[in-house]
Amino acid sequence: MQAMIPFPDISPEIFTLSLFGIEFALRWYALSYIVGILLGWRLVVASVKRPHLWRDASAPMTPLQVEDLLTWVILGVILGGRLGFVLFYQPAYYLQNPLQILQVWQGGMSFHGGLLGVVTACILYSKRQGAPWLSVADVLCMVAPIGLLLGRIANFINAELWGRPTSLPWGVAFPGAAAQDCPDVIGICARHPSQLYEAALEGLILGAVLVFLAYRRDALKERGRITGLFFAGYGVSRFIVEFVRQADAQFITPDNPMGYAVQMGGLGLSMGQLLSLPMIAFGLAMVAWAKRSRPA
């Protein structure tokens, strides 16, 4: 009998309130966004209160300006994440159903789109405030893994974005007909808990490395270094996990059972890997640039 881990009995909803015939539910995924933003905000505030971490002992923002930036970041995450999902994953569907683009509560967010949204918000806000945008980007990238860690754990609780079938002993038997639809598996289908792999790589490990470099190795003094390391680190982590992550359903066909976005014979790249390659290239280039432009 195959060894596997049964899916824990955790409801995606923390609690539900019924008011005047309308039900309001707080879900773990929403809570992960809220807690991630709050923890990130507090860490950014703590960082700008330490001038010695920054070039010329001058933080790019005041604590009050960080609060203003928070609004821009939230808008960037939501708008960028939604538009990224629409453009990267299901453009044909939303072209035929444009009104559903606004229905964010139905699900469908892209990390890569959300990241572009935050970058845009960061640049616009920095220009408006006269702050060095690369320093602002550095501190935002330093705290971004907090949200990634919590978000991926919430994905696991929601039993979504699971991995490919596996016979490894830590495979998880995710509930639902889609998760149990494994043509080559007889009986219960166990899958890679790819959400937890991403939580560890993109969240815990990457976040710990960036905070260590910022607080112990003066990385924030080299503008763009933390940003580059985050882009490259996330890109590499996501590229690796994509090998065991189940492809998005819209890419899976009888001729393309692995769900490659780009296929070359029996090999190919998933959409997540395709979007991660420019992130890795940009990140490495940014690290090299930051090293050359650091103050003497």
Instruction: Place 85 in a pLDDT band, splitting at 50, 70 and 90.
Output: confident
The percent of residues in the chain predicted with pLDDT above 90, rounded, is 58
Residue 185: predicted pLDDT: 87
Instruction: Place 103 in a pLDDT band, splitting at 50, 70 and 90.
Output: low
DSSP-derived pairing of the beta strands 5-6 and 172-173: parallel
Is 55 labelled a binding residue?
no
Residue 13: predicted pLDDT: 86
The percent of residues in the chain predicted with pLDDT above 70, rounded, is 95
Strand partners, 27: 13
Residue 104: predicted pLDDT: 64
Among 20-24, 66-70, 81-85, 233-237, the range scoring the smallest mean pLDDT is 20-24
Residue 150: predicted pLDDT: 95
Instruction: Place 95 in a pLDDT band, splitting at 50, 70 and 90.
Output: confident
Task: Tell me how many degrees the CA angle 168-171-173 measures, rounded to the nearest 5.
Answer: 140
List of long-range contacts for 116-120, beta carbons under 8 Å, 24+ apart = 116/80, 116/84, 117/75, 117/76, 117/77, 117/78, 117/79, 117/80, 117/81, 117/83, 117/84, 118/73, 118/76, 118/77, 118/80, 118/144, 119/76, 120/76, 120/80
Residue 97: predicted pLDDT: 79
Alpha helices (H) in 49-101, listed in sequence order: 63-88, 91-96
Nearest CA to 222 out of 143, 280, 142, 281 is that of 142
Greater confidence (96 vs 190) lies with 190
First to last CA, the chain: 63
pLDDT tens sequence across 182-194:
988 889 999 999 9
Distance CA 91, CA 38 (A): 32
Give the pTM: 0.88
Q: Is the pLDDT of residue 48 over 70?
A: yes
Distance CA 71, CA 66 (A): 9
